[in-house]
Structure 1
Amino acid sequence: MTQSDRKKGALLVLNSGSSSVKFTVFQVNPDASGDEALSPFFAGQLDGIGSSAKLKAKAATKELLADESWEHLDQGTVPAILPHLLEWIEKNLPADLPLLAAGHRVVHGGQLFNKPVLLNGEIIEQLSEFIPLAPLHQPQNLAAIRTLAESRPELPQVACFDTAFHQTMPEVSSTYGIPDELTQEGIRRYGFHGLSYEFIAHHMRETFPDVAKGRVVVAHLGSGASLAALQDGVSVDTSMGFSALDGIPMGTRPGSMDAGILIHLMRHHKMSADELEKMLYYKCGLLGISGLSNDMRDIQASEDPKAKLAEEIFCMKAAKTITSLATSMDGIDALVFTAGIGEHSPSIRAKIASHLKWIGVELDDAKNDANDLHIEADGSLPVFVIPTDEEFMIASHTLKLQSA
């Protein structure tokens, strides 16, 4: 679609979970080009679906648009309440900003999808085949897509995949040490948080093109956390693998662990696959180590030795992963911190950097404390703090595909 083909209107970006829906509405500016073609209009979240649904939304100007109970509309599931949310969104759009399309974050595209796609019935069914690869996320993503297809069949929908960005990884990075027939079945390292890494690569190309051409490690540190090696803006390795459990410890997920532990738990603790899944996704990581919280802010505020241990493990594992990813590129030219912890916790960044002086990383304390864009000390390799914007990437892809 060329700039002259664009229509004035709005794009809806949806990120659907089992009991919540996050949404962002972007205005399409048909006379603008590049990133200026899109501007945030309003955003919000519908929480507590199935118990005490509540809608919160704010305009891009930070004006409060909604903070209200939706229990009267709650029938227990996201698909049941989603048409009401779409109706609310359309009512809050000006008459000259019709809804043009919806873009969805879809966790898994398997080996089949290496870029965003305009959805149809056949593709939706293909995506359902990847449910075993992402059993906790893929069904929720597809439920929202199917609901919109039924309630607004004329509305184009685009799927953007967390795995697509990492399809460029070479076999040496994507292949496990397992029998080849299992690899051919699709048991391989896929990587996740791809929309975040894609945004960082895009932003770096626009603002620091010379750095972007080099070897950059990006640390996406949040409740879900991973790291990736980008060479000339392309993924060559990442810490997450077959599932979003791999890599460094996260809020409630363990990160990399000896597979023999799972065999032990099955044999000696008689744990079923469902019990293991619940433990691995909801009871490990910072929460499991500390016994206190899955939130790094709570961990850092506590004097409990187990909380301190959780923080130290998180930082040490992140630092070890940075050096591992640098090895995948035969070196490192820059380091980027992003996502909730990466963007807002100077002390975590400092602890991670303290393990990396030997590869040329040293922070300027004042710049780091201020969350500046550049936080490296003189003589250090470049270290950036860059806010990620996965919603913008979804909107950008949706804009390109919605009239195709």
Structure 2
Amino acid sequence: MTFAVLTINAGSSSIKFALFEVKGEGEPSLVAKGLIDDTGEAPSLSVSGEEEPIRLDAGASEERRLEQLFAALFSAIEARLDGRTLLAVGHRIVHGGPDFSEPLLIDDDVLAALGKLTPLAPLHQPRGLEPIHEMRRQRPDLSQVACFDTAFHHHLEPPVSRYAIPRRFEAEGLRKYGFHGLSYEYIAGRIAAAAPELAGGRIVVAHLGNGASLCAMRNGRSVDTTMGFSALDGLVMGTRCGAIDPGVLLYLQSVHGLDTDDLEDLLYHQSGLLGVSEISGDVRKLSESGDPRAREALDLFAFRASRETAAMANSLRGLDALVFSGGIGEHSPSVRAAICERLSWLGVAIDPAANAAGAERIAAPESRVAVLVVATDEETVIARHCLKAIAGD
């Protein structure tokens, strides 16, 4: 019998999914992938390689909307099983808190525990749990597995993990957790396979997308990372502020009267590249714009990314390789060039032609630091973790 696993990667406005075939002990093999777009009046489901997306009813209630979305998803998946048996569904869960560091089968107790972590990731955690609840309603006998974005950084300890606040708050879980762990885990594996001479070195990986962070790693393990207690910290992002003086938040509360909900919306949805440019949070649109505010936003993005790369190099006590990944990191030569130019004092130099072509290795011959572009694949990692949890490893 041939088996399959389904992976679900829920974002703020879309859900990426992928179907993998599983044969024996081999690597999961991609069968199909697609996207549920839950924006606008009429959500849609599309499968890569097929021209027409499936349009769903507009104006449905939230409960009915979810029911339609996942009924359409199961229909699309079942049409592609081709005799395979769907073994389980693996979900990307943004926050595992202090306790969850391994993939695990979801039951009532696990689901309740994950729900209690919502205050640690108020926007991301509910979005990741929604598909689980709906799938339990529609396919109650189908095994589901939680795979945590914080797990790759779980072993971080003081001083890296510590904030300079009273210890009683650290005792209740206020510490650096770090995110994008599924992406970093995949990239660590790719480096070990494609560039084994670098795998044991001092590597900074730049996961640059609408959400962005850096990870300092050595021997495939996280040493430090820019996101902290929340996914707001660190780099400038599409609509998120990144690291900010806490005094700014106090000022906004006291002078402008912003409450918690106002601040949350401002920092998550109105800031970052969008806030600075007042045009868009999309690097592609900003790169095409002649508006000076667009250039200022991109300059800030590169400045902060290069500054934080230097901080990660400090945690590593040096830098042997810089790896770009994520939507921006993989597809924007101009952003890569701007960041690397600011890191020339560290010995970073890139080959303009290789960079423009998006080659895997883009360092110039004289560069003292290897510079790579590596496409990430969180879904493959989720599929691996799903199988691990099912096997009870």
Match of 1:117 in 2: 104
The alpha-carbon deviation at position 120 of structure 1 amounts to: 1.4
Identity within the alignment, %:
44
**How has the CA–CA distance of structure 1 residues 94 and 133 changed in structure 2, closer, same or farther, with 3 Å as cutoff?**
closer
1:348-367 CA distance string (max 9 Å, x none): 11111111111110001111
Is the contact made by 2:101 and 2:151 (CA closer than 8 Å) also made in structure 1? yes
Match of 2:4 in 1: 10
- Letter in structure 1 aligned against 2:389: L
Match of 1:293 in 2: 280
The alpha-carbon deviation at position 397 of structure 1 amounts to: 0.8
The alpha-carbon deviation at position 233 of structure 1 amounts to: 0.8
Match of 1:186 in 2: 173
Q: Greater CA deviation, 8-17 or 316-325?
A: 8-17
**How has the CA–CA distance of structure 1 residues 115 and 82 changed in structure 2, closer, same or farther, with 3 Å as cutoff?**
same
The alpha-carbon deviation at position 311 of structure 1 amounts to: 0.6
In the alignment, is residue 148 of structure 1 matched against residue 155 of structure 2? no
Match of 2:36 in 1: 46
In the alignment, is residue 127 of structure 1 matched against residue 121 of structure 2? no
In the alignment, is residue 402 of structure 1 matched against residue 390 of structure 2? yes
Query: 3-state DSSP class of the match of 1:105?
Result: strand
Q: How does 1:360-371 map to 2 (within 5 A)?
A: 360-371=347-358
The alpha-carbon deviation at position 346 of structure 1 amounts to: 0.8
1:3-56 CA distance string (max 9 Å, x none): xxxx512111112346533211111133x63xxx21111111222367212121
The separation in 2 between residues aligned to 1:151 and 1:249, in whole angstroms, is 39
**How has the CA–CA distance of structure 1 residues 19 and 229 changed in structure 2, closer, same or farther, with 3 Å as cutoff?**
closer
The alpha-carbon deviation at position 273 of structure 1 amounts to: 0.5
Aligned pair partner of 1:171 in 143, 147, 158: 158
In the alignment, is residue 213 of structure 1 matched against residue 207 of structure 2? no
Is the contact made by 1:199 and 1:389 (CA closer than 8 Å) also made in structure 2? yes
- Letter in structure 2 aligned against 1:281: Y
* Structure 1 residues not aligned, in runs of 5+: 1-6
Query: 3-state DSSP class of the match of 1:71?
Result: coil
**How has the CA–CA distance of structure 1 residues 115 and 94 changed in structure 2, closer, same or farther, with 3 Å as cutoff?**
closer
**How has the CA–CA distance of structure 1 residues 18 and 344 changed in structure 2, closer, same or farther, with 3 Å as cutoff?**
closer
Q: Greater CA deviation, 393-402 or 10-19?
A: 10-19
Q: How does 1:376-391 map to 2 (within 5 A)?
A: 376-380=363-367, 381-391=369-379
1:68-117 CA distance string (max 9 Å, x none): 31117944345423441343134312441121110000000001011211
The alpha-carbon deviation at position 254 of structure 1 amounts to: 0.6
Q: How does 1:333-344 map to 2 (within 5 A)?
A: 333-344=320-331
Is the contact made by 1:13 and 1:103 (CA closer than 8 Å) also made in structure 2? yes
1:338-381 CA distance string (max 9 Å, x none): 01110011111111111111111000111111111110011211
Is the contact made by 2:56 and 2:68 (CA closer than 8 Å) also made in structure 1? no
Q: CA RMSD in A?
A: 1.7
Is the contact made by 1:299 and 1:311 (CA closer than 8 Å) also made in structure 2? yes
**How has the CA–CA distance of structure 1 residues 378 and 218 changed in structure 2, closer, same or farther, with 3 Å as cutoff?**
same
**How has the CA–CA distance of structure 1 residues 18 and 197 changed in structure 2, closer, same or farther, with 3 Å as cutoff?**
closer
The separation in 2 between residues aligned to 1:65 and 1:308, in whole angstroms, is 35
In the alignment, is residue 321 of structure 1 matched against residue 315 of structure 2? no
Aligned pair partner of 1:99 in 86, 97, 119: 86
The separation in 2 between residues aligned to 1:401 and 1:115, in whole angstroms, is 8
TM-score where L is the length of structure 1: 0.93
- Letter in structure 2 aligned against 1:392: T
**How has the CA–CA distance of structure 1 residues 73 and 158 changed in structure 2, closer, same or farther, with 3 Å as cutoff?**
farther
Match of 2:46 in 1: 56
**How has the CA–CA distance of structure 1 residues 333 and 275 changed in structure 2, closer, same or farther, with 3 Å as cutoff?**
same
TM-score where L is the length of structure 2: 0.95
Match of 1:4 in 2: none
**How has the CA–CA distance of structure 1 residues 147 and 219 changed in structure 2, closer, same or farther, with 3 Å as cutoff?**
same
Match of 1:3 in 2: none
The alpha-carbon deviation at position 322 of structure 1 amounts to: 0.6
Q: How does 1:215-230 map to 2 (within 5 A)?
A: 215-230=202-217
In the alignment, is residue 22 of structure 1 matched against residue 10 of structure 2? no
The separation in 2 between residues aligned to 1:123 and 1:86, in whole angstroms, is 24
- Letter in structure 1 aligned against 2:237: M
Aligned pair partner of 1:67 in 29, 42, 53: 53
- Letter in structure 2 aligned against 1:87: F
In the alignment, is residue 249 of structure 1 matched against residue 261 of structure 2? no
Is the contact made by 1:222 and 1:340 (CA closer than 8 Å) also made in structure 2? yes
Q: Greater CA deviation, 349-358 or 8-17?
A: 8-17
Query: 3-state DSSP class of the match of 1:112?
Result: coil
The separation in 2 between residues aligned to 1:48 and 1:83, in whole angstroms, is 11
Q: How does 1:29-40 map to 2 (within 5 A)?
A: 29-30=23-24, 33=26, 37-40=27-30
The separation in 2 between residues aligned to 1:94 and 1:108, in whole angstroms, is 31
Is the contact made by 1:164 and 1:194 (CA closer than 8 Å) also made in structure 2? yes
The separation in 1 between residues aligned to 2:358 and 2:53, in whole angstroms, is 30
The separation in 1 between residues aligned to 2:29 and 2:60, in whole angstroms, is 31
Is the contact made by 1:220 and 1:227 (CA closer than 8 Å) also made in structure 2? yes
Q: Greater CA deviation, 262-271 or 17-26?
A: 17-26
Is the contact made by 2:41 and 2:59 (CA closer than 8 Å) also made in structure 1? no
Is the contact made by 1:170 and 1:236 (CA closer than 8 Å) also made in structure 2? no
Aligned pair partner of 2:245 in 247, 258, 263: 258
